[in-house]
Every structure is written in C-alpha cells, then in structure tokens.
C-alpha cells in the first residue's frame, strides 16, 4: 500500500537516515530542508516520488510557507530541530525565539495542518523526535531541553485526543548519538562521554531510524502516547 510520508529536518544526518529507513518503492516522500538539499539526492530512486520542500522554520513566515504546500500525510515525522547551547542569561532573545520556532511551533503547526487528513482517513501515525535532554538536566540546555519536554507532553496529549480516530502519536528520544556536536565532543572527551552510557558506546543515526521505522509499522500498532528512549542506558550521573 502506498503511503504519503512527510519528514521535517530531513537533510540532517538523522533526518536523512530516517528518510532512507522509511522509504518503500510505492511511497511518496515529502522531505523538508532549510539550507542544503544535496544529501537528499540519495533518496531519489528509493520510492515512487520524492519531493523536496525548502523552508526556514526559525521564523513564523517560514513555517507558514511550508504548511501552505502540504495537505495530507499518512505518516508525519517531526525531526526538525535546532540546538543553541548557553546558560540562560547569556542566550540572546533571537536564539531563544529561533529554538522555540523550530523545535515547538513548527511541530505544532505542521501537525495541526495534517491532522484533518488523518482524521478523515481514520488512520495516521505521527512521530516526534524528542531528546533525552527532556528528562535529564544538562548545563547550557535549559531552553533546548524545555522544547523537547514540550514535545513529550504534546505527544501524550495528542495521543489521548486522537487515538479513537485511529491516529497514533509517539516520541523517539535519542540519547548520545554519534552525529553533529557529539562528534566534536568525542574528539577531546570521549572517555568521559562513554562513562555516562551503560553500553559504553555512542549510538548511531541508523539505530534511531530503525526505532522510528518500527514505531510507524503495523507491528507497533498498539503503541501510542509513548516516549521511546534510544540512549544505550544514558543513566549514569545527573
């Protein structure tokens, strides 16, 4: 059965891996990116149709632009994210607003746009990409962690609201994944980083993507309103 899948933040390492993990020959993938569409070229040929949509989610105008170009979806993956690290008194107002727009408002508005089509079909699946930061205090991440905490609560409430309509809403919360800023941190603090993970290694984007693929599958049809942490046992220390 063909599916329409919308993935925001698809050009990131994680978003790209999720896109590849979900693509089936009969699917239509609508992939959001902001600056760099080149990584998405590798998705072409994996499914029936691939559509790239550019939009800057850091502004309300950019979110509105994206929403104006989408109408329906069977699966929505809210993976767009922005991390700006800093102690709260040092964060610029612009930085805070950008994180709130990308991490919260984009997910809310895109979900709001697509829910009616799912309700009409009495079927749909939404996965919000959260973070273990929502449940674990980290210096310099008060706003970022707060946005991910919002996604967790947003997920649970949406699941309660729309479960009877056949729509499942879940979160996948990655822990220390070998991508982005963690690659830089690993270069000079690898021992300390691994000491906080009970499996004594970092995770991969492929492992997170595999979890997303499972959550949207029929095998996970009775999982709803959950936050699945993919963190290797990231439980040592504060």
Among residues 33, 57, 66, 144, which one is catalytic? Answer: 144
Q: Which two tokens stand for residue 13?
A: 């390492």
Phi first, then psi: give them for residue 33, nearest 5 degrees.
-145, 165
Could you confirm whether 33 is annotated as catalytic? no
Quick check: 55 and 8 in contact, CB under 8 A?
no
CA distance 132 to 231: 7
List, by residue number, the catalytic residues: 144
């Amino acid at each position: 059965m063909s599916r329409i899948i919308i993935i925001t933040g698809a050009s990131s390492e994680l978003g790209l891996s999720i896109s590849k993990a979900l693509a089936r020959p009969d699917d239509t993938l609508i992939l959001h990116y902001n600056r760099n569409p080149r990584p998405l070229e590798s998705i072409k040929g994996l499914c029936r149709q691939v559509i790239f949509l550019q939009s800057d989610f850091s502004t309300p105008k950019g979110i509105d632009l994206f929403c104006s170009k989408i109408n329906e979806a069977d699966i929505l993956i809210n993976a767009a994210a922005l991390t700006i690290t800093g102690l709260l008194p040092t964060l610029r107002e612009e930085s805070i607003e950008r994180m709130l727009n990308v991490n919260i408002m984009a997910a809310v508005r895109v979900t709001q746009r697509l829910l009616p089509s799912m309700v009409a079909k009495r079927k749909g699946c939404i996965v919000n990409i959260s973070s273990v930061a929502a449940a674990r205090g980290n210096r310099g991440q008060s706003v970022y962690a707060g946005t991910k905490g919002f996604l967790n609560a947003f997920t649970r409430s949406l699941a309660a609201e729309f479960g009877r309509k056949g729509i499942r809403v879940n979160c996948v919360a990655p822990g220390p994944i070998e991508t982005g800023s963690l690659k830089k941190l690993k270069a000079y603090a690898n021992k300390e980083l691994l000491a906080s993970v009970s499996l004594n290694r970092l995770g991969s984007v492929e492992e997170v993507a595999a979890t997303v693929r499972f959550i949207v599958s029929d095998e996970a049809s009775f999982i709803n309103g959950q936050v699945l942490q993919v963190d290797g046992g990231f439980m040592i220390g504060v």
